[in-house]
Amino acid sequence: MRIIILLFGSIVFSFSAIAQQRAPRWEFGIQAEYGRDYYHKEAAPMGSYEGAIIDFSSNRSWGAGFYFERSLNPRWSVLGQVGYAQKKVHPQLFHMYNQTASQHLLREVHHRSAVDAGLRLYLNPPSKIRLFVDGKLGANVFMSVVQHESTYGRRVRGNVFGFQRVAPVASASLGIKWSRLTVSAEYRDDLTVSKRIGGMSEISGKGIFGKVGFALFRGGM
């Protein structure tokens, strides 16, 4: 009986060691997000038609991208993300042309891209379902604005109303990881206001998003 117990114990130990050796040290995957952005607009100079509404939000924001995670030890890892996002915003909030034009604008969509990197801490590393928190720094890039008018149809405004295109951003996440699947909630905040050419209104943003990621490739030691 002792021999059987010892044999069984050695088999279990061997499989455990093999599993630890084969535990992925890095992974590359895809991810998607959905949430809402909240904006604050600094009032424009006195006498301007802008600045009437200073706090507003996107109707919806969604995005997709790629991520890379590299394990440093069982608790800590480094990660980087790059992605693209669309943000549907009510027309005439970022920039107002005139009251006549506002009657013809049907919808407005902002196209953005982002890149960030940071550290992730796993709170219960031995578990199959691991709880984590992470923090990241990066940049938010304002690419273009697409407006739809009842008369002229789709119009692309590549100058993004004269706003600064690149803004530094910080984010923090709380989530769970199980095998190749990652689910998290993320909070983002612009570190500076987005200035505008000519000293007009300035805008800063923050947002809350739900995210789902899936590892496509994983590597060992």
pLDDT tens profile 48-79: 545 467 889 999 999 999 999 999 999 999 99
Asked if residue 99 belongs to a domain, the reply is yes
Structural domains counted in the chain: 1
Asked if residue 4 belongs to a domain, the reply is no
Asked if residue 132 belongs to a domain, the reply is yes
Asked if residue 118 belongs to a domain, the reply is yes
Residue-number span of the structural domain to which 169 is assigned: 25-219
User: What pLDDT does 16 receive?
Assistant: 40
Q: pLDDT tens, 69-109?
A: 999 999 999 999 999 999 999 888 887 665 554 457 788 99
Q: What is the mean pLDDT of residues 186-200?
A: 87
Nearest to 164 by CA among 131, 134, 194, 127: 194
The mean-pLDDT minimum among 71-85, 124-138, 186-200 falls in: 186-200
Whether the pLDDT of residue 118 is over 90: the answer is yes
Asked if residue 180 belongs to a domain, the reply is yes
Asked if residue 98 belongs to a domain, the reply is yes
Residue 107 and residue 104: Cα distance in Å, rounded?
9
Query: Residue 162 CB: number of other CB atoms within 10 A?
Result: 13
User: What pLDDT does 105 receive?
Assistant: 78
Asked if residue 14 belongs to a domain, the reply is no
Q: What is the mean pLDDT of residues 150-169?
A: 87
Q: State the CATH number of the domain containing residue 68.
A: 2.40.160.20
